[in-house]
Structure 1
Protein backbone atom coordinates (compact mmCIF):
# COMPACT_ATOMS: atom_id res chain seq x y z
CA UNK A 1 0.00 0.00 0.00
CA UNK A 2 2.88 2.36 0.64
CA UNK A 3 4.04 2.05 -2.98
CA UNK A 4 0.52 2.88 -4.20
CA UNK A 5 0.48 5.86 -1.83
CA UNK A 6 3.82 7.05 -3.18
CA UNK A 7 2.57 6.75 -6.76
CA UNK A 8 -0.68 8.59 -6.01
CA UNK A 9 1.24 11.30 -4.17
CA UNK A 10 3.41 11.71 -7.28
CA UNK A 11 0.35 11.92 -9.52
CA UNK A 12 -1.23 14.47 -7.19
CA UNK A 13 1.97 16.54 -7.32
CA UNK A 14 1.93 16.46 -11.12
CA UNK A 15 -1.72 17.54 -11.20
CA UNK A 16 -0.86 20.48 -8.95
CA UNK A 17 2.09 21.45 -11.17
CA UNK A 18 -0.35 21.50 -14.09
CA UNK A 19 -2.72 23.68 -12.04
CA UNK A 20 0.24 25.99 -11.34
CA UNK A 21 0.92 26.30 -15.06
CA UNK A 22 -2.71 27.14 -15.77
CA UNK A 23 -3.12 29.63 -12.94
CA UNK A 24 0.28 31.34 -12.95
CA UNK A 25 1.51 31.11 -16.53
CA UNK A 26 -1.43 30.69 -18.92
CA UNK A 27 -4.39 32.16 -17.00
CA UNK A 28 -5.55 34.56 -19.72
CA UNK A 29 -5.27 32.17 -22.68
CA UNK A 30 -8.49 31.09 -24.40
CA UNK A 31 -8.05 27.43 -23.38
CA UNK A 32 -7.58 28.18 -19.67
CA UNK A 33 -10.36 30.78 -19.68
CA UNK A 34 -12.68 28.14 -21.15
CA UNK A 35 -11.55 25.60 -18.55
CA UNK A 36 -12.43 27.97 -15.72
CA UNK A 37 -15.46 29.51 -17.45
CA UNK A 38 -13.99 33.01 -17.48
CA UNK A 39 -14.45 35.87 -19.89
CA UNK A 40 -11.36 37.69 -21.08
CA UNK A 41 -12.20 40.57 -18.75
CA UNK A 42 -12.68 38.27 -15.75
CA UNK A 43 -9.37 36.53 -16.46
CA UNK A 44 -7.50 39.83 -16.59
CA UNK A 45 -9.25 41.10 -13.45
CA UNK A 46 -8.28 37.96 -11.50
CA UNK A 47 -4.83 37.40 -13.01
CA UNK A 48 -2.92 38.56 -9.93
CA UNK A 49 -4.99 36.36 -7.60
CA UNK A 50 -4.62 33.35 -9.88
CA UNK A 51 -0.86 33.92 -10.14
CA UNK A 52 -0.55 33.72 -6.36
CA UNK A 53 -2.88 30.73 -6.10
CA UNK A 54 -0.88 28.91 -8.75
CA UNK A 55 2.27 29.22 -6.68
CA UNK A 56 0.39 27.84 -3.67
CA UNK A 57 -0.34 24.75 -5.77
CA UNK A 58 3.28 24.54 -6.94
CA UNK A 59 4.57 24.69 -3.36
CA UNK A 60 2.24 21.87 -2.31
CA UNK A 61 3.55 19.80 -5.23
CA UNK A 62 7.14 20.50 -4.20
CA UNK A 63 6.48 19.46 -0.59
CA UNK A 64 4.91 16.20 -1.79
CA UNK A 65 7.73 15.52 -4.28
CA UNK A 66 10.44 16.16 -1.71
CA UNK A 67 8.57 13.77 0.59
CA UNK A 68 8.61 11.06 -2.07
CA UNK A 69 12.34 11.56 -2.63
CA UNK A 70 13.10 11.55 1.09
CA UNK A 71 11.04 8.40 1.64
CA UNK A 72 12.64 6.64 -1.33
CA UNK A 73 16.14 7.48 -0.11
CA UNK A 74 15.62 6.07 3.37
CA UNK A 75 14.42 9.06 5.36
CA UNK A 76 11.04 7.42 5.82
CA UNK A 77 9.77 9.51 8.74
CA UNK A 78 10.69 12.80 7.07
CA UNK A 79 9.33 11.61 3.74
CA UNK A 80 6.05 10.42 5.21
CA UNK A 81 5.61 13.68 7.10
CA UNK A 82 6.18 15.75 3.96
CA UNK A 83 3.88 13.56 1.87
CA UNK A 84 1.14 13.80 4.50
CA UNK A 85 1.60 17.58 4.66
CA UNK A 86 1.59 18.05 0.89
CA UNK A 87 -1.11 15.57 -0.13
CA UNK A 88 -3.16 16.24 3.00
CA UNK A 89 -3.19 19.98 2.27
CA UNK A 90 -4.19 19.29 -1.33
CA UNK A 91 -7.09 17.13 -0.16
CA UNK A 92 -8.12 19.63 2.53
CA UNK A 93 -8.10 22.55 0.06
CA UNK A 94 -10.22 20.52 -2.35
CA UNK A 95 -12.68 19.77 0.45
CA UNK A 96 -12.98 23.50 1.21
CA UNK A 97 -13.66 24.18 -2.48
CA UNK A 98 -16.18 21.33 -2.63
CA UNK A 99 -18.11 22.60 0.40
CA UNK A 100 -17.94 26.32 -0.35
CA UNK A 101 -18.57 26.39 -4.11
CA UNK A 102 -21.21 23.93 -5.31
CA UNK A 103 -20.62 24.96 -8.93
CA UNK A 104 -16.96 23.93 -8.62
CA UNK A 105 -17.46 20.49 -7.13
CA UNK A 106 -16.18 18.78 -10.27
CA UNK A 107 -12.92 20.72 -10.06
CA UNK A 108 -12.68 19.96 -6.34
CA UNK A 109 -13.00 16.24 -7.01
CA UNK A 110 -10.43 16.36 -9.81
CA UNK A 111 -7.85 18.00 -7.58
CA UNK A 112 -8.75 16.28 -4.31
CA UNK A 113 -9.56 12.61 -4.81
CA UNK A 114 -6.06 11.49 -5.78
CA UNK A 115 -4.27 13.14 -2.83
CA UNK A 116 -6.99 11.94 -0.44
CA UNK A 117 -6.49 8.36 -1.64
CA UNK A 118 -2.73 8.84 -1.34
CA UNK A 119 -3.07 9.89 2.31
CA UNK A 120 -5.33 6.92 3.11
CA UNK A 121 -3.05 4.40 1.39
CA UNK A 122 0.08 5.85 2.98
CA UNK A 123 -1.53 5.78 6.42
CA UNK A 124 -2.70 2.20 6.01
CA UNK A 125 0.60 1.08 4.53
CA UNK A 126 2.65 2.65 7.29
CA UNK A 127 0.32 1.37 10.03
CA UNK A 128 0.48 -2.24 8.96
Structure 2
Protein backbone atom coordinates (compact mmCIF):
# COMPACT_ATOMS: atom_id res chain seq x y z
CA UNK A 1 0.00 0.00 0.00
CA UNK A 2 1.17 3.52 -0.81
CA UNK A 3 2.47 5.19 2.37
CA UNK A 4 0.86 8.49 1.34
CA UNK A 5 -2.52 6.74 1.58
CA UNK A 6 -1.72 5.58 5.11
CA UNK A 7 -0.57 9.12 5.98
CA UNK A 8 -3.86 10.47 4.61
CA UNK A 9 -5.95 8.02 6.62
CA UNK A 10 -3.98 8.77 9.80
CA UNK A 11 -4.23 12.53 9.20
CA UNK A 12 -7.99 12.29 8.63
CA UNK A 13 -8.38 10.33 11.88
CA UNK A 14 -6.19 12.89 13.67
CA UNK A 15 -8.43 15.64 12.27
CA UNK A 16 -11.49 13.80 13.59
CA UNK A 17 -9.94 13.53 17.08
CA UNK A 18 -9.05 17.21 17.03
CA UNK A 19 -12.55 18.06 15.82
CA UNK A 20 -13.94 16.16 18.80
CA UNK A 21 -11.57 18.01 21.12
CA UNK A 22 -12.88 21.26 19.60
CA UNK A 23 -16.43 20.23 20.48
CA UNK A 24 -15.44 19.44 24.06
CA UNK A 25 -13.35 22.56 24.63
CA UNK A 26 -15.51 25.06 22.76
CA UNK A 27 -19.11 23.86 22.78
CA UNK A 28 -19.37 21.54 25.80
CA UNK A 29 -16.70 22.85 28.20
CA UNK A 30 -19.01 23.32 31.18
CA UNK A 31 -20.98 20.08 30.69
CA UNK A 32 -20.53 17.47 33.46
CA UNK A 33 -19.24 14.82 31.04
CA UNK A 34 -16.60 17.17 29.65
CA UNK A 35 -15.59 18.25 33.14
CA UNK A 36 -15.05 14.58 34.01
CA UNK A 37 -12.85 14.10 30.94
CA UNK A 38 -10.68 17.09 31.85
CA UNK A 39 -10.92 16.69 35.63
CA UNK A 40 -12.31 20.14 36.30
CA UNK A 41 -14.91 21.39 38.73
CA UNK A 42 -17.88 23.52 37.67
CA UNK A 43 -16.10 26.57 39.07
CA UNK A 44 -12.84 25.80 37.26
CA UNK A 45 -14.73 25.23 34.00
CA UNK A 46 -16.58 28.53 34.33
CA UNK A 47 -13.34 30.40 35.04
CA UNK A 48 -11.43 28.79 32.16
CA UNK A 49 -14.22 28.75 29.57
CA UNK A 50 -12.67 31.42 27.32
CA UNK A 51 -9.20 29.83 27.44
CA UNK A 52 -10.63 26.41 26.65
CA UNK A 53 -12.64 27.77 23.74
CA UNK A 54 -9.55 29.42 22.30
CA UNK A 55 -7.64 26.17 22.59
CA UNK A 56 -10.55 24.33 21.00
CA UNK A 57 -10.43 26.63 17.98
CA UNK A 58 -6.70 25.87 17.61
CA UNK A 59 -7.53 22.17 17.61
CA UNK A 60 -10.22 22.66 14.97
CA UNK A 61 -7.88 24.67 12.74
CA UNK A 62 -5.14 22.03 13.01
CA UNK A 63 -7.68 19.42 11.96
CA UNK A 64 -8.74 21.54 9.01
CA UNK A 65 -5.10 21.99 7.97
CA UNK A 66 -4.54 18.23 8.12
CA UNK A 67 -7.59 17.71 5.92
CA UNK A 68 -6.34 20.36 3.50
CA UNK A 69 -3.16 18.34 3.11
CA UNK A 70 -5.17 15.18 2.51
CA UNK A 71 -7.32 16.92 -0.11
CA UNK A 72 -4.25 18.32 -1.87
CA UNK A 73 -2.74 14.82 -2.07
CA UNK A 74 -6.00 13.43 -3.43
CA UNK A 75 -6.12 16.24 -6.01
CA UNK A 76 -2.67 15.27 -7.28
CA UNK A 77 -0.53 17.90 -5.56
CA UNK A 78 1.37 15.16 -3.72
CA UNK A 79 4.47 17.03 -2.51
CA UNK A 80 2.57 20.15 -1.42
CA UNK A 81 -0.15 18.04 0.21
CA UNK A 82 2.33 15.97 2.16
CA UNK A 83 4.05 19.17 3.29
CA UNK A 84 0.79 20.62 4.61
CA UNK A 85 -0.18 17.28 6.16
CA UNK A 86 3.23 17.09 7.89
CA UNK A 87 3.00 20.64 9.20
CA UNK A 88 -0.43 20.07 10.75
CA UNK A 89 0.18 16.60 12.16
CA UNK A 90 3.69 17.54 13.28
CA UNK A 91 2.22 20.34 15.41
CA UNK A 92 -0.39 17.92 16.79
CA UNK A 93 2.34 15.43 17.68
CA UNK A 94 4.53 18.10 19.28
CA UNK A 95 1.59 19.23 21.44
CA UNK A 96 0.95 15.64 22.55
CA UNK A 97 4.62 15.18 23.43
CA UNK A 98 4.61 18.45 25.37
CA UNK A 99 1.53 17.31 27.25
CA UNK A 100 3.10 14.10 28.51
CA UNK A 101 6.53 15.64 29.19
CA UNK A 102 4.98 18.47 31.20
CA UNK A 103 2.66 16.18 33.17
CA UNK A 104 3.31 12.43 33.26
CA UNK A 105 -0.24 11.80 34.49
CA UNK A 106 -1.52 12.95 31.09
CA UNK A 107 -0.07 9.96 29.21
CA UNK A 108 -3.44 8.60 28.14
CA UNK A 109 -4.58 11.98 26.84
CA UNK A 110 -1.26 12.39 25.01
CA UNK A 111 -1.72 9.02 23.30
CA UNK A 112 -5.28 9.93 22.23
CA UNK A 113 -4.04 13.29 20.94
CA UNK A 114 -0.81 12.06 19.39
CA UNK A 115 -1.17 8.50 18.05
CA UNK A 116 -2.72 9.28 14.65
CA UNK A 117 -0.49 12.33 14.12
CA UNK A 118 2.57 10.17 14.87
CA UNK A 119 1.49 7.62 12.26
CA UNK A 120 0.84 10.43 9.75
CA UNK A 121 4.23 12.04 10.40
CA UNK A 122 6.22 8.82 10.07
CA UNK A 123 4.42 7.58 6.95
CA UNK A 124 4.26 11.08 5.48
CA UNK A 125 8.02 11.57 5.83
CA UNK A 126 8.73 8.23 4.20
CA UNK A 127 6.24 8.97 1.39
CA UNK A 128 7.80 12.38 0.86
CA UNK A 129 11.23 10.79 0.60
CA UNK A 130 9.89 8.49 -2.10
CA UNK A 131 8.74 11.38 -4.32
CA UNK A 132 11.50 13.91 -3.83
TM-score (norm 1): 0.96
Aligned with 2:38 (options 36, 39, 44): 36
* Other structure's SS at 2:30 match: coil
Q: Which runs of 5+ in 1 are unaligned?
A: none
Offset of residue 122 of structure 1: 1.4
Equivalent residue pairs, number: 128
| Aligned twin of 2:129 | 127
CA distance in 1, matches of 2:64, 2:34: 23
Mapping of residues 55-74 of structure 1, within 5 Å? 55-74=57-76
* Other structure's SS at 2:29 match: coil
Offset of residue 126 of structure 1: 2.9
Offset of residue 72 of structure 1: 0.5
Would you say the 8 A contact 2:15–2:63 is kept in 1? Answer: yes
CA distance in 2, matches of 1:103, 1:44: 23
* Other structure's SS at 1:118 match: helix
Q: Does 1:91 align with 2:93?
A: yes
Would you say the 8 A contact 2:79–2:128 is kept in 1? Answer: no
Would you say the 8 A contact 2:19–2:59 is kept in 1? Answer: yes
TM-score (norm 2): 0.93
| Aligned twin of 1:77 | 79
Q: Deviations over 1:20-50 (max 9, x none)?
A: 0000110000110011111111111111110
Q: What stretches of structure 1 move > 3 A for 4+ residues in a row? A: none
| Aligned twin of 1:4 | 6
